Structure 1
């Protein structure tokens, strides 16, 4: 009887949590038109990135799908064009596990575009294990989730400065709140644990804070956007012993990709949030930062990352 009672309590608790989560889903209500604007989204062929790209296309933007898998990206592109009637949607290939690919991608974008209004750093992996190293010698999760988005953003800053009121959106995660053992001086060291994912998202928050400071008094603002727990393909990369548990939780408790896309979309199009430059957003509203950070820490994180990605003096367009 005790076991049955415990099961009953767990079921009731799960139902209550599910109802609460459904009632607290927030939608971006901005009707901002993006005709004449250009938006670039990494990892846009599926999940949250696809939903963001779809929303921007509906608003009339020129949308660049920055993806690694050409076939899936082309399929997503066709689907967006057919669904919105906006034919100004293009695919450009980028592999965030390669700094050379990031640089080649930026050169391609600069040749084809004369301005860029919105950059959404969405792509991420949940890879763990010391064997997951990139050609640049970095842990895969660190390079894809943080080092390469850093490099991509800095290299595109001069293009974004040609546009008025441009915005940079860095997707983060609640995992940044529980990340432990972070040492800014050891970012380049391979660790290979699940905690690394949270550390990459914490780094994205530090990056956003420092980027906002360096873009001060310019018409580019930047925001960290936490989409919440979302049912996306990223959980296919979870360790096998966690896969079934993740599958259950994501189906029952997590947001849909469309729901998860609302906060990044809000940060991209909402009016009047420029005063929150460098801040963190959840459920379409500014929240307190997940961690107490000092300017010195965000600056130190920036300086070390700049060396890891081998930025050249002529590639830095920030103060």
Structure 2
């Protein structure tokens, strides 16, 4: 009799385990379907013939897929990358994939003010137009603190201060190319941070937090940029691409990376999915004249009151001018 009871209990345990596993699988499938059906897709079929698009940091992730899509649309692509060898290999891949041979690679290290100035001087000298500037490049560290040759914290230099200077140095070209667009890849992670105006070059702060700060800064800068560019024919917008399974997480150390990689592979967007909002902002005719907005999944999205404060934008702008060592002879916005 006891033997029969044991078998019954074992059977019930197996059934319970099977139900739990089934429920987990159903939940995972449901989550995947939710992600799939709520992920924004750029629906514009617009060709970009005759348009020049400059993309920073496009050798991997969403930058790579943004470049691929715009190359298919027959745009002239300027790949502004720190790793020229990787960019050159990607250029050959894109030419083979799209048939678009109008793709060039230029050296740009956004953590170096010298590199930015040399790059901008070359672009202004060689290019007749830049119709779309996509600030896609970004870096993220977890614990390793780095300071650039200019004495600026590496994450903030690459993600915010470098793009700030580059935008200024190219602004006259963008104005001559109007209607033109400036696009910043920001992040919803801005909600986890704020700007400390007493320490805008936080060289002793853990860089994991500074990634969030840099995304907050991107949005503050974009909104102020849009205000200053009103009436020029140049628009400025920013976006959250979603959480992406891409190289941005490669600097997360083990064992933190183990769990993150599993989550990223199972639930984060692919680079193709993550690139959709960048592409939408670059090509959609529905966005002609739209400026100073934040987008998520190819739709306009709200921002917190703090990040939208115009007084904060003006103050931060002036601080950025000091940190990037803007010169009296530099173009002004």
Q: Please report the TM-score for the alignment, with normalisation by the length of structure 2.
A: 0.90
Q: CA deviation at 1:164?
A: 2.1
- Matched with 1:254 is 268
- Say if 2:198 is the partner of 1:185: yes
Q: 1:139 to 1:129 in 2, by over 3 A?
A: farther
275-284 vs 227-236, greater mean Cα deviation: 275-284
- Matched with 2:279 is 265
247-256 vs 273-282, greater mean Cα deviation: 273-282
Matched residue SS, 1:315? coil
Pair member with larger Rg:
2
Q: 1:183 to 1:8 in 2, by over 3 A?
A: farther
1:151-170 matches, cutoff 5 A: 151-170=165-184
1:193-272 matches, cutoff 5 A: 193-272=207-286
| CA distance, structure 2, for counterparts of residue 239 and residue 7 of structure 1 | 30
Contact 1:176 1:290 in 2 (8 A): no
| CA distance, structure 1, for counterparts of residue 29 and residue 47 of structure 2 | 39
151-160 vs 273-282, greater mean Cα deviation: 273-282
- Matched with 2:132 is 118
Q: CA deviation at 1:187?
A: 1.3
Contact 2:155 2:207 in 1 (8 A): no
Q: 1:310 to 1:49 in 2, by over 3 A?
A: same
Contact 2:160 2:217 in 1 (8 A): yes
| Unmatched segments (≥5 aa) in structure 1 | none
Contact 1:139 1:192 in 2 (8 A): no
How many residue pairs match? The answer is 317
Contact 2:59 2:86 in 1 (8 A): yes
| CA distance, structure 2, for counterparts of residue 210 and residue 225 of structure 1 | 15
- Matched with 2:69 is 55
Matched residue SS, 2:48? coil
Matched residue SS, 1:153? helix
Matched residue SS, 2:160? helix
Q: 1:7 to 1:203 in 2, by over 3 A?
A: farther
1:300 to 315, 318, 327: 315
Matched residue SS, 1:194? helix
Q: 1:10 to 1:132 in 2, by over 3 A?
A: farther
RMSD of the TM alignment (CA)? 1.8
2:113 to 99, 121, 125: 99
Q: CA deviation at 1:269?
A: 1.0
- Matched with 2:9 is none
Q: CA deviation at 1:97?
A: 1.5
Q: CA deviation at 1:6?
A: 6.6
- Matched with 1:149 is 163
| CA distance, structure 2, for counterparts of residue 65 and residue 236 of structure 1 | 22
Q: 1:250 to 1:269 in 2, by over 3 A?
A: same
